[in-house]
Amino acid sequence: MDIETYLREKKELIDSFIHTYFGAPIAPDILCDTMTYSLFAGGKRIRPILAIASYEACGGNGKEIVPFASALEFIHTYSLIHDDLPAMDNDDLRRGKPTNHKVFGEGMAILAGDALLTEAFYILSNYRHRSPHISPQSMLSLIREIAMAAGTHGMVGGQAQDLLSENTKPDADTLSFIHNHKTSALITASVRIGGILSNCGDEILAKLTHYGLSVGLAFQIVDDVLDMEGKTELLGKTAGSDKRKEKMTFPVLYGIDHSLKKAGGLVHSAINVLQSFTEKADPLREIALYILRRRN
């Protein structure tokens, strides 16, 4: 399979859903502008694509869950907007473009994040988006899974610890807590919901969870290495910004070589756990490898 084509095709499905979603008028106009500015600021849609690939790996038709998968991108985008705020990471650039608050002001950026998070749950609870194969109970599990991964026990908890840890001496436990919560939780949930929506059963779900945790951590490590190596154009944020803020990252703690070895091991483990899956899981396998290749 050609993973580049796969990623492009799935991205088009997601982008198309998001465009349609904003076809209905939102008032005031600027609220719509600030949300779509960040939604279309160059994101690769990795989380929604993982959800679709996981659903397909369990035998489903990916098109059925495009709305639910897109809601993950709303949540990811909200987290980027809030993380970039002056009171948080204070970043001026994201994926090579001015951050949301630099364009729309802090107040409107906070509201854009709030709106994206809330609309995600509106989409996830919309019965109209449900295909006949998906039960209302599965939809509730989906919502709970995503809320868990995005809230205090996931993303927000990780960001709170990250904020507390700025300018402190790195230690392995804290770094692991931040990565597991801030990044891995939502990536793992993205993979898991493919399984949940296809009623895959506990054994398969455990394997998808292992895959998600491994790929999520590998993704974060590669991101931190790209930041340290200064590849602003690949990273899309101001390279070196972690170091300047004395952020606790994998390469800061373990060095670049050891970090990349660790990421390679995680990707290997993620692919390994999918051994019992058919060729329908090839996109999941290829996405894991793609995450390592981001460096080139």
Q: Is 177 exposed, middle or buried (0-12, 13-18, 19+ CB in 10 A)?
A: middle
| Interaction between residue 133 and a second copy (CB under 8 A) | no
- Residue 94: helix, strand or coil by DSSP? strand
Site string for a second copy, 200-239 (x = CB under 8 A): ----------------------------------------
Rounded to the nearest whole angstrom, what is the least distance from the CB of residue 269 to a second copy in the complex? 26
Site for a second copy, residues 18 to 37, rule: CB under 8 A: 26-28, 30-32, 35
Binder to a second copy among 11, 93, 98, 161 (CB under 8 A)? 161
| Interaction between residue 40 and a second copy (CB under 8 A) | no
Return the number of the residue (26 or 256) whose C-beta is nearest a second copy. Answer: 26
| Interaction between residue 110 and a second copy (CB under 8 A) | yes
Q: How far is CA 106 from CA 28, 160, 163, 242, in A?
A: 16, 19, 18, 21
Binder to a second copy among 16, 20, 61, 152 (CB under 8 A)? 152
First to last CA, the chain: 20
Q: Answer for the pair 221, 194: CB distance below 8 angstroms, yes or no.
A: no
| Interaction between residue 164 and a second copy (CB under 8 A) | yes
Rounded to the nearest whole angstrom, what is the least distance from the CB of residue 117 to a second copy in the complex? 6
| Interaction between residue 159 and a second copy (CB under 8 A) | yes
Site string for a second copy, 64-83 (x = CB under 8 A): --------------x---x-
Task: Single out the residue of 249, 286, 255, 252 nearest to residue 270, CA to CA.
Answer: 286
- Residue 239: helix, strand or coil by DSSP? coil
**93 phi and psi angles, rounded to 5 deg:** -125, 145
176 token code pair: 């692991």
| Interaction between residue 127 and a second copy (CB under 8 A) | yes
286 CB contacts (<8 Å, ≥6 apart)? Answer: 1, 3, 6
1 token code pair: 């399979």
Binder to a second copy among 170, 177, 253, 264 (CB under 8 A)? 177
198 token code pair: 């296809």
| Interaction between residue 103 and a second copy (CB under 8 A) | no
| Interaction between residue 287 and a second copy (CB under 8 A) | no
Return the number of the residue (103 or 147) whose C-beta is nearest a second copy. Answer: 147
CA–CA gap between residue 192 and residue 57 (Å, rounded): 11
Q: Is 173 exposed, middle or buried (0-12, 13-18, 19+ CB in 10 A)?
A: exposed
As a residue count, the chain comes to 296
Binding site for a second copy (CB under 8 A): 26-28, 30-32, 35, 78, 82, 85, 87-88, 105-108, 110-111, 113-115, 117-119, 121-122, 124-127, 135-137, 139-141, 143-144, 147-148, 150-153, 156-157, 159-161, 163-164, 177
